[in-house]
Amino acid sequence: MFKQLLVIVLTTALLSFFANADENADDIEALEDEIGDLVQNTEDNRARLQELMLHPHPDVHTKARMYLARLIMGTGDYDEAERILSRSNESQSILSQKNRANLLIALTALERMRNDFVKAKEYAFQAVEVSQGNNELLGEAYLGYGTILSSVMDWIDAKRYLELSLEAFIKENDDEGKSVTLNQLGVMYVSLGDLSKALEYLHQSRVIIERIGNEERLATVYYNIGEVYEDSNEPANALVYYEKALAMDKKIGGPYNISYSYIGIANIHIDLEKYSNALKNNAAAIEVLGQIDSPRQFSRAYLQRSNIFATLDNQAERLQNLQLAKKYADIRDSPFQTLSVDYSFGDYFFDTKEYSKALPWIKNSLAIAEELSLDNKKREAHELLARTYQALGQIDKAFFHLEQTLELQELLNTEDQREKTERYKRDMNLLEEELKVSELEQIKVQKEQELRTQENLQQRLHLVILCVVALSLAIIFVLWQRRKLSLLRVSLYENTLRQKNQLLADVSHELRTPLTALQLKVEALKHNLVDDVDASYERLIEKISDINRMISDIYQLAQSDIGALNMRVTEEDISELFAKWQDEFRDLVQMRAFEWLFENHLPSSQSISIDKDRIKQVLANLINNSLAYTDSPGEIKLTAKITDKFLSVYIEDSKPGVAPDELPKLFERLFRVESSRSRETGGSGLGLSICKSIIEAHKGKITASSSELGGLLIDIKLPLRQESTND
Same fold, 460-561 and 570-719: no
- For the cut 50, the answer to whether the pLDDT of residue 417 exceeds it is no
Domain topology for 460-561: Helix Hairpins (1.10.287)
Look at residue 150 in the predicted model and tell me its pLDDT. 80
Beta pairing class for 701-706 and 635-643: unpaired
CA–CA dist 207, 363 (Å, integer) = 46
Beta pairing class for 595-601 and 710-719: unpaired
Least confident segment among 17-31, 89-103, 455-469, 548-562: 17-31
Look at residue 332 in the predicted model and tell me its pLDDT. 66
pLDDT digits (tens, 9 = 90+) for 626-650: 888 888 888 999 999 988 888 999 9
pLDDT digits (tens, 9 = 90+) for 126-177: 888 888 877 778 888 888 888 888 877 787 888 888 988 888 888 888 888 8
CA–CA dist 74, 44 (Å, integer) = 16
Q: Are the CB atoms for 345 and 308 separated by under 8 Å?
A: no
Q: Are the CB atoms for 673 and 628 separated by under 8 Å?
A: no
Report the first-to-last Cα separation within the chain, whole angstroms: 85
Look at residue 320 in the predicted model and tell me its pLDDT. 94
CA–CA dist 12, 24 (Å, integer) = 18
- For the cut 50, the answer to whether the pLDDT of residue 439 exceeds it is no
Q: Are the CB atoms for 342 and 122 separated by under 8 Å?
A: no
Look at residue 2 in the predicted model and tell me its pLDDT. 41
CA–CA dist 234, 241 (Å, integer) = 11
The half-sphere exposure of 714 on its side-chain side, counting CA atoms within 13 A, is 25
Look at residue 351 in the predicted model and tell me its pLDDT. 92
pLDDT digits (tens, 9 = 90+) for 681-703: 445 567 788 888 888 888 899 99
pLDDT digits (tens, 9 = 90+) for 323-347: 999 998 888 667 778 889 999 999 9
- Alpha-carbon distances, residue 236 vs 231, 312, 581, 655 (angstroms): 12, 22, 12, 28
Domain ranges of the chain: 460-561, 570-719
Look at residue 713 and give its three-state secondary structure. Answer: strand
Please, which pLDDT band fits residue 679 given cuts at 50, 70 and 90? Answer: very low
pLDDT digits (tens, 9 = 90+) for 545-574: 767 766 766 666 666 666 656 778 888 888
- For the cut 50, the answer to whether the pLDDT of residue 420 exceeds it is no
What DSSP string describes 332-344? HT-HHHHHHHHHH
Domain topology for 570-719: Heat Shock Protein 90 (3.30.565)
Provide the whole-model pTM: 0.47
Instruction: Note the Cα 50 to chain centre separation in Å.
Output: 39
3-state helix, strand, coil in the chain (%, to 5): 75, 5, 20
CA–CA dist 658, 649 (Å, integer) = 20
Burial class (CB in 10 A: 0-12, 13-18, 19+), 278: buried
